[in-house]
Amino acid sequence: MAVRKDEKRGKWLADAYIDGKRIRRWFETKAEASRFFNTVKQRDSLFSQFVLQNSSSSEGERLSKLCQLWFDLHGQTLVNGKKTLNKLLLMANALGDPQGANFTAEHFAEYRKKRLQGEIIFRYAKTVTVETVNLEHKLLSAVFNELSRFGKWERPNPISDLNFFKTKEKELAFLRNDEIDRLLACAKLVSDDLLTVVSLCLATGARWSEIAELKASQLVPYKVTFIKTKSGKNRSVPIAEHLFKSIKLKQGKLFNVHSRDFERAINLAKIELPEGQLTHVLRHTFASHFMMNGGNILVLKDILGHSDIKMTMRYAHFAPSYLESAVALNPLANR
């Protein structure tokens, strides 16, 4: 064993054996890794014995145990941490719950194939999309990355070299003005709560879950504050006075709504949405109309609560001036 650099991670690995037990530690510099390696190789030293006694590698643990360890050390701090853990445990079971040390990219590649072919099913649909499989890949890879950062995983990430599937950019469906009018009318037929939730989504660009889970404490005249968001940051968005006054304040959750109610209103309004899209069309509709009406892309980023401007740039082409030079500068313009 020795000291070597992992070019992909950009870190130095000190890899040694003490009394038959393998000890691996990552360092930012070669000097740190070499110092650790040379010291730990002195088998009778107090430092060597301390490292041996406190080595807590999880390589022998089952994949499900590694996922639980990830949750205990990191996942429980995430907004959707428990939901993510449940998904990871389903994946571990479908993979046969192998020992971490025996889990390979080949195992996950076979799992992906079976997921796409409908041989492994978690919910109602018999098959899943490439995007779903890529997300599962990302989630499981993050488990090994985080455990490595906590010193609980000393091997390379077993699926880090496995490429994600390439995907095509999906159509960002949004509602036209006449569709918005029909939807609001049909939402009122379903329930007053649904009408208010749909109106708030269209007025703030918030996610369905952010509005559906609203409590009175998140409202002040004339503003709504979203907490426990996907990005982890709270954000406040102003709303019109008449919309604020239409909200009936009470203890607990303000609205009794379900996505099925929204689907019913969509069907009543005879609105066709792309496959796989439902409530999120409200968020797309807000963002699209915001840009079409001359809104600023940076302001939109803050309203939507995006952590990365790249997410918001999906809506840039809706701006009236976007790429308008194509009209004036194309070869037919002066003919």
pLDDT digits (tens, 9 = 90+) for 117-147: 988 888 766 678 898 999 999 999 999 999 8
CATH (domain of 293): 1.10.443.10
Instruction: Name the band, by pLDDT with cuts 50, 70 and 90, for residue 332.
Output: confident
Predicted confidence (pLDDT) at residue 297 exceeds the cutoff of 80: yes
Catalytic residue among 30, 74, 188, 280: 280
Indicate if 68 and 144 belong to the same structural domain. Answer: yes
Per-residue pLDDT reduced to its tens digit, 248-289: 988 889 999 999 999 999 999 999 998 778 999 999 999 999
Comparing 149 with 56, the larger pLDDT belongs to 149
Instruction: Name the band, by pLDDT with cuts 50, 70 and 90, for residue 244.
Output: very high
Indicate if 20 and 69 belong to the same structural domain. Answer: no
Q: Which residue type does 143 have? A: V
Look at residue 58 and tell me if it is in a domain.
Answer: no
Catalytic residue among 137, 207, 289, 301: 207
Dihedral (CA of 56, 60, 66, 72) sign: negative
Indicate if 291 and 310 belong to the same structural domain. Answer: yes
Look at residue 172 and tell me if it is in a domain.
Answer: no
Domain boundary among 132, 149, 166: 149
Indicate if 205 and 313 belong to the same structural domain. Answer: yes
CA distance 320 to 133: 36
Indicate if 24 and 75 belong to the same structural domain. Answer: no
Query: Is 260 designated active site?
Result: no
Look at residue 282 and tell me if it is in a domain.
Answer: yes
DSSP 161: T
Domain boundary among 104, 130, 149: 149
Look at residue 325 and tell me if it is in a domain.
Answer: no
Q: Which residue type does 1 have? A: M
Catalytic residue among 25, 182, 283, 289: 283
Query: Is 280 designated active site?
Result: yes
Indicate if 70 and 44 belong to the same structural domain. Answer: no
CA distance 280 to 198: 11
Per-residue pLDDT reduced to its tens digit, 33-76: 888 777 777 766 665 665 555 555 566 688 999 999 999 989 98
Residue 210 confidence (pLDDT): 92
Contact 51, 40 (CB under 8 A): yes
Q: Which two tokens stand for residue 40?
A: 């730990």
Indicate if 229 and 208 belong to the same structural domain. Answer: yes
Rounded (10°) CA dihedral 66, 73, 152, 26: 130
Domain boundary among 14, 29, 53: 53
Indicate if 141 and 185 belong to the same structural domain. Answer: no
Query: Is 9 designated active site?
Result: no
Domain count, the chain: 3
Contact 281, 173 (CB under 8 A): yes
Indicate if 307 and 184 belong to the same structural domain. Answer: yes
Query: Is 5 designated active site?
Result: no
Q: Could you tell me the CA-to-CA distances from 1 to 12, 21, 34, 112, 245 in Å, in that order?
A: 13, 12, 12, 35, 70
Look at residue 185 and tell me if it is in a domain.
Answer: yes
Domain that holds residue 201: 177-318
Look at residue 310 and tell me if it is in a domain.
Answer: yes
Look at residue 166 and tell me if it is in a domain.
Answer: no
CA distance 84 to 73: 14
Indicate if 225 and 268 belong to the same structural domain. Answer: yes
Catalytic residue among 22, 230, 235, 264: 230
Angle between helices 192-204 and 259-268 (to 10 degrees): 90
Average per-residue pLDDT for the chain: 86
Predicted confidence (pLDDT) at residue 247 exceeds the cutoff of 80: yes
Indicate if 135 and 218 belong to the same structural domain. Answer: no
Look at residue 277 and tell me if it is in a domain.
Answer: yes
Indicate if 85 and 196 belong to the same structural domain. Answer: no
Catalytic residue among 11, 306, 314, 322: 306
Residue 67 confidence (pLDDT): 95
How many residues can be counted in the chain?
335
Query: Is 25 designated active site?
Result: no
Q: Could you tell me the CA-to-CA distances from 332 to 321, 323, 326, 327, 328 in Å, in that order?
A: 20, 16, 10, 9, 9
Query: Is 74 designated active site?
Result: no
pTM of the model: 0.67
